[in-house]
Amino acid sequence: MKVTNFTRRAALAVAAAAAFAMPASADVDMAGKTIEWTIPFSETGGSAKWANFFAPLLSEALPGNPTVVVKFMPGAGSTKGANWFQKQTNGDGTVMFGSSGSTQFPYLLGDPRVRYEYKDWEPVMASGTGGVAYLSAEAGAKFDGSANNLKDMTFIYGNQGATRLDLIPALAWKMLGMNVEHVLGIKGRGDGRKMFESGEATIDYQTSSGYLKGSAALVEAGKAVPMMTWGSLDANGEIVRDPTFPDMPTFKEVCEATDGCETSGAQWDAWKAFFVAGFPSQKIAFLPAGTDPEIVETFSNAFAKIAARPDFAEISAKRLGKYPMYTGEGAKAALGTAITVNAEAKDFVVGWLKDEFGVELK
């Protein structure tokens, strides 16, 4: 029951942090400055949509209205950009970094490419997200809420990397008994969607922002059929339906309806632990280590001001989905959840990655 206790604590910590208060203003003026917000993925994925959504709002909310430019540094499963950020010493607020679950998972798993330490960085905002898995029209016609009718099919999936956030769908499909062949090495989930659109892939998953922006149109055109979401966490750490997609079943529901798939035991506990680490506080904005505390406070204030906008819930729901956003101490609590999994879950996933993908992490 260790994983259950962990997820309950994590959910309560993040839920408590949601009720953040606006911190006191810091005496910082950013007028005339350009802030470069680096995203370690391609410009087609969910992190790009997240940063591009917040960048103009941040410019408006920061004192002096500086220019906020989103830059992309894909490569090495997002570790290239994170390793670069680790070396940054410019603490005047002109350098930012945006992390995602695909950056957190290599860190959690001890990927040898990791040369970064999250605990060195200054989190100023964190936000949750969800994910939607969807099928080709042919496979969707056979989907009945379980994977039973899909087990005799072979699927192709564009995978960013075995140790990245794609391990969530990969392990889920494995637990459902589906035969999914992984094309490894794509630069972002947007490229995975392009593979699906061209027919090179027959199954796909997108984080909520990517689904809302691109994949939902495929569903409307009859070219894709939603299969499931990963779900969301309630205050007790239980998986419930994603608030952005309340009409879609969760992976837990599909698993319960599928012969041979269990929502208890080592596989389920590992999947849930990494889901908790990867989605409720998936995307985090950082300033470099050593940034002046007044500047950290100024950025936290600005993001809190964005969240307090009367139109924020509406505009963020359309672009990113209906998920909480955290600043200040809330962002720090969210980071703690995002970079913590118990030893049993880690050991299971490390063993599964070796067996499934030949990835050696020990």
Do 204 and 313 lie in one domain? The reply is no
Q: Last residue of some domain: 234, 260, 277?
A: 277
Q: Which residues of 135-166 are buried (b: 16+ CB within 10 A; e: fewer)?
A: bbeebbeebeebbbebeebebbbbbbbbbbbb
More confident residue, 13 or 257: 257
Sheet strand arrangement including 131-136: 203-207, 131-136, 224-229
Do 18 and 29 lie in one domain? The reply is yes
| pLDDT for residue 87 | 97
In a domain, 358, yes or no: no
In a domain, 354, yes or no: no
The structure tokens listed for 210 are 């990517």
If you average pLDDT over residues 61-66, what whole number do you get? Answer: 97
3-state secondary structure at position 90:
coil
Do 283 and 251 lie in one domain? The reply is no
Do 107 and 238 lie in one domain? The reply is no
The structure tokens listed for 186 are 């794509």
Q: Which amino acid is at 240?
A: V
Distance CA 192, CA 201 (A): 8
Do 144 and 253 lie in one domain? The reply is yes
- Summarised one tens digit per residue, pLDDT across range 271-316 is 999 999 999 888 999 999 999 999 999 999 999 999 999 999 999 9
Do 260 and 158 lie in one domain? The reply is yes
92 pLDDT band (50/70/90 cuts)?
A: very high
| Chain centre to alpha carbon of residue 87 | 24
CATH of the domain at 214: 3.40.190.10
* Residues 6+ positions from 217 with CB-CB distance below 8 Å: none
More confident residue, 124 or 28: 124
Give DSSP secondary structure letters for 186-237: -SSHHHHHHHHHHTS-SEEEEEHHHIIIIIHHHHHTTSEEEEEE--EE-TTS
Q: Are 158 and 344 in contact (CB under 8 A)?
A: no
Q: Last residue of some domain: 243, 277, 311?
A: 277
Do 244 and 155 lie in one domain? The reply is yes
Closest CA to 330 of 300, 309, 308, 310: 300
| pLDDT for residue 261 | 98
167 pLDDT band (50/70/90 cuts)?
A: very high
**Residue-range definition of the domain harbouring residue 233:** 131-277
Is residue 8's pLDDT more than 60? Answer: no
Do 48 and 72 lie in one domain? The reply is yes
Q: Which residues of 244-273 are buried (b: 16+ CB within 10 A; e: fewer)?
A: bbeebbbbbbbbeebeebebeeebbbbbbb
Closest CA to 50 of 59, 39, 61, 63: 39
Do 198 and 76 lie in one domain? The reply is no
361 pLDDT band (50/70/90 cuts)?
A: confident
Q: Last residue of some domain: 277, 308, 326?
A: 277
Is residue 137's pLDDT more than 70? Answer: yes
Q: Are 230 and 250 in contact (CB under 8 A)?
A: yes
In a domain, 298, yes or no: yes
| Chain centre to alpha carbon of residue 168 | 10
Q: Are 207 and 129 in contact (CB under 8 A)?
A: yes
| pLDDT for residue 347 | 96
> What is the pTM assigned to this prediction?
0.85
If you average pLDDT over residues 229-256, what whole number do you get? Answer: 95
CATH of the domain at 74: 3.40.190.150
Do 138 and 264 lie in one domain? The reply is yes
362 pLDDT band (50/70/90 cuts)?
A: low
Name beta bridge partners: 135. Answer: 203, 225
220 pLDDT band (50/70/90 cuts)?
A: very high
More confident residue, 27 or 202: 202
In a domain, 362, yes or no: no
Do 20 and 89 lie in one domain? The reply is yes
| pLDDT for residue 1 | 34
| pLDDT for residue 158 | 97
Do 290 and 316 lie in one domain? The reply is yes
